[in-house]
Amino acid sequence: MTNKIIIEIKQRESFAGGHHFGQTGAYERLRGCAHFAVSPDAAPQAGICDLGLAPRNKKGLVEFSADFLILKPAEPVQGNGRLFYDCGNRGNMRSLQFFNDAPANNDPRSLDDAGNGFLFRRGYTLLWSAWQGGILPGNDRVVLRVPVATNGGEPITGTVMQDFSVDERGTYVMPLSGRSDAHSYPTISLDTRNATLTRRRYPYSEREVIDPDAWQFARIEGGTRLDDYSKKIGIVPSSTHLLLQDGFEPGWIYELIYSAKDPLVLGVGYVALRDLVSFIRYESEDSAGQPNPIGRIEKTYGWGRSQTGRFLRDFVYHGFNADKQGRRVFDGVMPHVSGAGLVKMNRRFANIFSPSGGAYQHRFCYGDVFPFSYAESTDHLTGARDAILTRPTTDPLVIHTHTSTEYWQRRGSLIHTDTRGQDLMQPEKVRIYHWASSQHSANPRLVSPKQPPDVMNLINNIYTSPLFRAMLDALDAWASRGEVPPESVHPTNAARTLVPYSEWVEQFPNIPGQMIPEGPLDLPLMDFGPKAAEGKLSVFPPAIVDRSGYSILVPKVDEDGNECDGVNAPMVAVPLGTYTGWNLLKRGYGHGAISWSTKGSYIPFPDTQDERGMTRDPRRSVMERYPSLDAYVGKIREAARLLVKRRFMIDEDVERVVGRASDWGRPCTDVKLPRP
């Protein structure tokens, strides 16, 4: 039996009011659903956890479906023949936001949603589709509908561990998944004595057991009386919610371990992506004889950031970049800020909404597991030998990009070192670029230096969108014409720019009043049970086998605290402050710990020499560096032009960057100098 795919188009209309994007012309918007039916016993689906326990149709096939959105040239011959796949983060579409400087939007329709038009002017066909099961509908997210595994029709049960944290008081109820947009595995018993709820101050603090009588498997329903003066609530038993009678307290990590039922077969997400992209690239019609809605595609590129960067790495590692006929699915992939982990969704009772190990909460998730690098290496703790890339005929080209945050919060050094921290030469088809001193998520539409209530410092404000655009051009030139991109740029032991935390502490400037982290996120060797490799975890919380674990290193910093080795965005090359990949939680939120939400810091320089003397700041002031605004803007222009020369920025972005630097980069900076 062969896999089947049927494409259902639900909406078809012009995009952006028919606006013409350069030589590509107008674009068309298609929204719909891809319906899949696959043989659970066939080799292309081999190894998917619990697929053999999923319901089958009359033909013996397992069915599932994925929402999608396509933006394509109205005249395909005017496009560039390239498919750009946005691997949506938890069902959300992000490529227009980061490549086009557009507003975040899961249902782009207008010209404003097109941003600066970069992807459209280049002629790409854009595809978003659902690959992650367990996403609940809402906010125009794309949803993957997956089967539930059963044991001959009887429920399958197992143990689930879930962390919870809140930023403010007043939260009494949480979904068992920890998120309102995520599916929760129902408990098999509402009796809290059959589960364990604990809390702890920090990841390695001793767990405090919460009395079973102090919480319930329940939710709150509320309303108002007819006089609108008082609100009435009702407590309703719920197999998918946790109610804490005194409320969740900020600054604590809550951990629930309970017995759940009805695991989702999440591994079909690999198949949904593989078969949809393969169909669009290679087939003229679907299984129902309907024509391919896109037409000519010569090259395919996949991009994912954070969670979806991990998924792309996982997708390639498990061999799904070869379709059911052995053809390459993606010619190139661009994992961004993935850290060293994989999604690890091919397991029973997985919750892939949870971060793959966080600096504060979710510290003991199953996600950052060897192998970490694209290159082959040996795990010195287990003796295993492996790599992300192991299939030369179908492995894609890889441009991997990351920021300072990944070194501090996502074990990023393991991407290019072995497990002992020694430099690891990467395969020829891999490039790794460190975007120095920038943070995990850089909002291209940031309009002011923000300081959320839970962290100590202003948020890192480095503008990195121009680097995305250059990276895509480089990948296309590599895949299409064999033009090799610039060599990898990242800290190394050989250059003495990748260092242990003990050296970094001596390098970072002693900024008055500035607290520093206790260290980067560690990675101990953990034991989740004897069948963890098969996707069946059984030890919760995991046993710590080796506390020191894997070697985690961080980039060396200069006298300003900015990183020494990497691709420097103009704001880093011409700094107005210290920019880090970490930010620390305030008192009452997990005081002193690195913020779990992957925020970085912007620590402004003193404006003048007088201010520097008064505050005893060791860093030179803004005016000592740049005697005038014109001098500052001129240096920004020089830095941008150098990036263009090195192929890390495209020409059109020079004036865009220079324009943002006018008036000392305000309002995105905290410079207090008088306006000229």
Is residue 225 scored above 70 in pLDDT? no
pLDDT of the residue at 364: 87
Q: What is the mean pLDDT of residues 448-466?
A: 89
**Rounded CA separation 308/331 (Å):** 17
* 227 or 520: which leads in pLDDT: 520
Across 71-80, 208-217, 230-239, 290-299, least confident range: 230-239
Q: How far apart are the first and last CA of the chain?
A: 73
Q: Tell me, rounded to whole angstroms, the distance of Cα 512 from its chain centroid.
A: 33
Question: What are the tens digits of pLDDT across the range 295-331?
Answer: 889 999 999 999 999 999 999 999 999 999 999 999 9
Share of the chain above pLDDT 70, in %: 98
Share of the chain above pLDDT 90, in %: 89
pLDDT of the residue at 223: 57
**Per DSSP, what are the bridge partners of residue 319?**
none
Q: What is the mean pLDDT of residues 228-236?
A: 75
Check: CB of residue 266 under 8 Å from CB of residue 350: yes
Is residue 482 scored above 80 in pLDDT? yes
Question: What are the tens digits of pLDDT across the range 488-543?
Answer: 999 999 999 999 999 999 999 999 999 999 999 999 999 999 999 999 999 999 99
Q: 10 Å Cβ neighbour count for 548? A: 10
Backbone angles phi, psi at 506, to 5 degrees: -75, -25
* 359 or 235: which leads in pLDDT: 235
**Rounded CA separation 222/210 (Å):** 26
pLDDT of the residue at 356: 66
Across 10-24, 52-66, 234-248, 437-451, least confident range: 437-451
DSSP of 198-228: EEESSTTSPPEEPPGGGEESEEEEEEE-TTS
Q: What is the mean pLDDT of residues 60-81?
A: 97
pLDDT of the residue at 230: 59
pLDDT of the residue at 505: 98
At residue 611 the predicted structure's pLDDT band, cuts being 50, 70 and 90, is: very high
Helix (H) / strand (E) element for 262: namely: none
Question: What are the tens digits of pLDDT across the range 101-128?
Answer: 999 999 999 999 999 999 999 999 999 9
| Residue in the block written with tokens 């804490």 | 244
pLDDT of the residue at 357: 66
Question: What are the tens digits of pLDDT across the range 188-211?
Answer: 999 999 999 999 999 999 999 999
The pTM of this model reads 0.96
Is residue 569 scored above 80 in pLDDT? yes
Q: What is the mean pLDDT of residues 213-233?
A: 76
At residue 147 the predicted structure's pLDDT band, cuts being 50, 70 and 90, is: very high
At residue 226 the predicted structure's pLDDT band, cuts being 50, 70 and 90, is: very low
